[in-house]
Amino acid sequence: MKHTHASRLRLFAARVLLATAGCSGAPGGDQSTVPGTGTSSTGGVRGASVSGSGADHAPGITAGTGGARGVGTAAGTPAGTPAGTTASTGVGVSAVPGTTSDVPCDVAAVLQSRCSDCHGATPKFGAPMSLTVAADFNKRTKDASMTVGQAVIARINDDAHPMPQAPAARLTAGESATLTVWINAGAKPSACSPTTGVSGGGGASVGAMGAPAGTDTVALDPDVTCYELKAHDPSSKSTRYNVPTTPDLYHCFSFAPPWGTDKVHMVDWKPLIDNDKVIHHWILYNDAGTVTDGADADCSGAHPSAQMVTGWAPGGQGSALPKDVGQDVSGKGFTLEIHYNNTTSTPQPDASGARVCVTKKLRPNEAGIHWLGTEGIVLPAGGKASGVCKPTTQTPVTILSSTPHMHLQGRHMTTVITRANGKTDMLIDKPFEFASQVSYPTPQSINPGDTLTTTCEYGGPAFYGQGTKQEMCYNFVLAYPNGGLASGSLLRKNGCTGL
């Protein structure tokens, strides 16, 4: 498939590109090489079915079911159901895929477009239960404290940890009322006739991570080689990691650069999702310090020497950079931090991770991760912290993506560009959820004299620090030329934070 520069840029913008900072984790890991595959034909990127009525972007979460399924398996075989073959339009649907629905049509439409990626007939991505038939709502929650229906009402109104979770948009008032009225009336079964279909509402439409259908196999240049960085058992790289039943487990796997010491550019990456029952989300970090190849350990918290390279949350598709751009990944190694939520009663094997494609034929433009935000965080509950980046560069800078990074109290981030003439442009304005961090395509050009103000909003009291109970406020911005967004700070390369 040939792409013009412009179409590649669009393609890039339509897929998610990831880059962030943070996990030093523990050494560990397994990598398998897939040299010279030439194409990224893993079935990894299935089109997120373009559905929904265009509500605000929910990268990583698609309205239909196509997106979340569209991730490749660790075995490299296509696991995706081609976009469009699933009931993914969210309009007038009579059933959540795989079930005979006995919930009213309008309720079914909301469940399908906003919940079924995770709470389908077989729960996925760490979700503890199904939300497909009326009886599901009258069961007790896992902790037996209330009915699932009551929990649904609680969580769709829970500003700290809403369902669906960020990066998905919150339910609209209409969607919320549809669920609430039906649940409060006893969540009774009722026939749904497809002809009385109700609009799925402003579902989580295809967002930043959604790839247009049909872009699932993008030819890679012959000089590009792909490597797999995957979860594995400490004993052997070919044995899957045994995920314990610990709730909300963060486990890190470490890898030396599989391509050795040569300088490379990363040009493409894909999620490899193996056991979708238990994987909730992952982040790939590039470590400035040496890592021990093959090591693994529980990890949650400080990742002081690392930059986020990319991240995945359900529905995420992976991303290709524009043809003339390559991402700097010259750290000393990688940490794959996987967030598991094994709600089954037994340990579950998993070999999820990332396929990272690199070239030694360096691209004309090198993109790097830049640190925007602030370290000046001393706030009471509900406070906001801002930092202004004043780049010292005298050349224009092209921004590709933004990856908000805060800790447990982080709720929302914006970065606003103030042009030299005083006008402003919004670079990013997104809700934040620690448990599903992703990046967003945010194409923008920055010219000399422009400044970028990043503002972070927190739920509880917030103090700057490395631990998860302390707070951060970074927008990891992927941009070229590498170093283009820097304020001359001696603290760190590509630092552009402010007070």
From 116-124, 414-422, 465-473, 475-483, span contacting ligand HEC (CB under 6 A): 116-124
Q: Is 164 in the site for ligand HEC (CB under 6 A)?
A: yes
Q: Is 39 in the site for ligand HEC (CB under 6 A)?
A: no
Kindly tell me which residue out of 55, 95, 105, 127 binds ligand HEC, with binding defined by CB under 6 A.
127
Residue 247 CB, nearest distance to ligand HEC (Å)?
8
Q: Is 125 in the site for ligand HEC (CB under 6 A)?
A: yes
Number of residues that bind ligand HEC (CB under 6 A): 26
Residue 157 CB, nearest distance to ligand HEC (Å)?
11
The alpha carbon of residue 124 and the mean position of all alpha carbons in its chain are separated, in whole angstroms, by 15
From 113-121, 226-234, 267-275, 301-309, span contacting ligand HEC (CB under 6 A): 113-121
Q: Is 161 in the site for ligand HEC (CB under 6 A)?
A: yes
- The Cα–Cα gap between 172 and 44 comes to 31
Q: The tokens 């900072």 sit on which residue?
A: 21
Q: Which is nearer to ligand HEC, 277 or 405 (CB)?
A: 277
From 111-119, 216-224, 230-238, 347-355, span contacting ligand HEC (CB under 6 A): 111-119
Residue 207 CB, nearest distance to ligand HEC (Å)?
12
Kindly tell me which residue out of 31, 65, 341, 348 binds ligand HEC, with binding defined by CB under 6 A.
341
- The Cα–Cα gap between 494 and 230 comes to 28
Query: Could you give the strand order of the β-sheet that contains 384-389, starting from the edge strand earlier in sequence?
Result: 384-389, 451-458, 410-418, 424-431
The alpha carbon of residue 55 and the mean position of all alpha carbons in its chain are separated, in whole angstroms, by 18
The alpha carbon of residue 296 and the mean position of all alpha carbons in its chain are separated, in whole angstroms, by 22
Q: Which is nearer to ligand HEC, 279 or 358 (CB)?
A: 279
Those residues whose C-beta lies under 8 Å from the C-beta of residue 10, and which sit 6 or more positions away, are none
Q: Is 140 in the site for ligand HEC (CB under 6 A)?
A: no
- For 66, 168, 352, 420, 485, the CA distances from 339, given in Å and listed in that order, are 22, 18, 11, 42, 30
- The Cα–Cα gap between 125 and 281 comes to 8
Looking at the chain, how many residues does it have?
Answer: 499
From 2-10, 16-24, 127-135, 213-221, span contacting ligand HEC (CB under 6 A): 127-135
Q: Is 48 in the site for ligand HEC (CB under 6 A)?
A: no
**What are the tokens at 58?**
């929910």
Residue from 217, 349, 327 nearest 270 by CA: 217
Provide the total of helices (H) and of strands (E) in the chain, helices listed first.
7, 24
- The Cα–Cα gap between 470 and 357 comes to 34
Residue 132 CB, nearest distance to ligand HEC (Å)?
11
From 30-38, 118-126, 223-231, 379-387, span contacting ligand HEC (CB under 6 A): 118-126
Considering only residues 410 to 439 of the shown chain, the ones binding ligand HEC according to CB under 6 A are none
For helices 173-184 and 148-156, angle between their N-to-C axes, nearest 10 degrees: 160
- For 224, 295, 324, 443, 487, the CA distances from 480, given in Å and listed in that order, are 20, 33, 11, 11, 15
Kindly tell me which residue out of 5, 155, 188, 360 binds ligand HEC, with binding defined by CB under 6 A.
155
- The site for ligand HEC (CB under 6 A) is made up of 61, 114-115, 117-119, 125-128, 131, 141-142, 151-152, 155-156, 161, 163-165, 168, 171, 280, 314, 341
